[in-house]
Structure 1
Amino acid sequence: MAGAGLGRGLATPLLVINFCLYLIAACFAGWALNRNFDAGIGRGEGGVGNNVTQFFFLPITLIACMVGLASCLAGVHHMRLFRSDSLAAAAATSLIAWLLVLLAMGLACKQIHTGGNRPRRLKVVEALMIILALFELLYLLSLHLGFGRAGHNHTAGTGAGVGMGGVGGHNHQHHTDYGHHTDKKIPVGHVPNPAHPTY
């Protein structure tokens, strides 16, 4: 199972990197969103970014980071079990996280293009969304790399009573003759009378 070991060896460091990047991006995006909330009610030092930042980029970035962290937790569970059922959960959450990160990356590019008051922490969030779009894709591909037959539970023919229906095993039933063999030939169309048995 060298292929399975290669897939696990590539997915594990990417899993750790993605977790750290998602956590940092979520913290900085939460800080920026909180500052914009305070600026909206006349508190704090004023808002950051522009309309793209406040209404689109920061909320979607936070959602993408939360789903990304969930995909990392599902990935840890898959690395521990490394079965086909755990792969399905890890791959599904990773795919959703990657699509959300792609959306956040597009908004980050739009925010960079429009400019505005963008402090260093907000620029870090923009850069992390662009980087995570690549790293999440690599992690998603590494989940399937070399998985092969590793972790599959081959249960064919092991279930109780499988042979009963002839599904997992062959249950050859021989016909049993429950009557007595006799050399007495009965004419065609003649029905024996039970009261007068023929011997």
Structure 2
Amino acid sequence: MANEQMKPVATLLLALNFCMYAVVLGIGGWAMNRAIDHGFIIGQGFELPAHFSPIYFPMGNAATGFFVTFALLAGVVGAASAIVGFNHVRSWTPESLPSAASAAAIAWTLTLLAMGFACKEIELQIRNSRLRTMEAFLIILSATQLFYIAAIHGALRK
């Protein structure tokens, strides 16, 4: 590729994004496990509660279920896009750019979607410190993922 100066920037952003996505996956996995362990018990002879939600989470507020679900999706796709990105940075050729750019763009859009639910959860206010941490990480990731996409596309210019 034409611009080797962007390679260290892209590598730094990739490492940062991968670590942050791993933290999001860890906290999201904890939240999902807690929701499964402490959710509604529905069996024979039990009736559904009046306001039953299939994505009920015992911590947080009404947006928590959507937030955690999409945060887990964004975390998995983001970690996978970081792996593809490391392959691109290693070879740094125009042929490896489309796969890295498309994976990064998909991860960024899912991160933006999860960030939207994080903003809704912040607006509704009732949440614990782990969910606040995941919200902060997703808000930061929405920016750093965009900067990574700009860095790998900026390398095409002379």
TM superposition score normalised by structure 1: 0.68
Alignment of 1:78-157 (within 5 A): 78-116=88-126, 118-148=127-157
Give the match for residue 78 of structure 2: 68
**Aligned with residue 57 of structure 1, among 47, 52, 67:** 67
Q: CA deviation at 1:64?
A: 0.3
TM superposition score normalised by structure 2: 0.85
Can you give the 5+ residue segments of structure 2 that lack an aligned partner in the other structure?
A: 42-56
Cα deviation code 1:98-150 (max 9, x no counterpart): 0011111110000010122x22111100000100000000000001112348x
Q: CA deviation at 1:6?
A: 1.3
Aligned to 1:84, the other structure's residue is in SS state coil
Can you give the 5+ residue segments of structure 1 that lack an aligned partner in the other structure?
A: 150-199
Q: CA deviation at 1:50?
A: 1.7
Q: Name the one with the larger helix percent.
A: 2
Q: Residues of 2 paired with 1:74 and 1:147: CA distance?
A: 18
Higher-RCO chain (CA-CA 8 Å, sequence separation at least 6): 2
Contact 1:7 1:144 (C-alpha < 8 Å) held by counterparts:
no
Cα deviation code 1:21-61 (max 9, x no counterpart): 0000110011011111111146xxx821122112x111100
Q: Pick the structure with greater CA Rg.
A: 1
Cα deviation code 1:40-90 (max 9, x no counterpart): 146xxx821122112x11110000010000110000100111111211100
Give the match for residue 49 of structure 2: none
Between the aligned residues of both structures, percent identity stands at 41
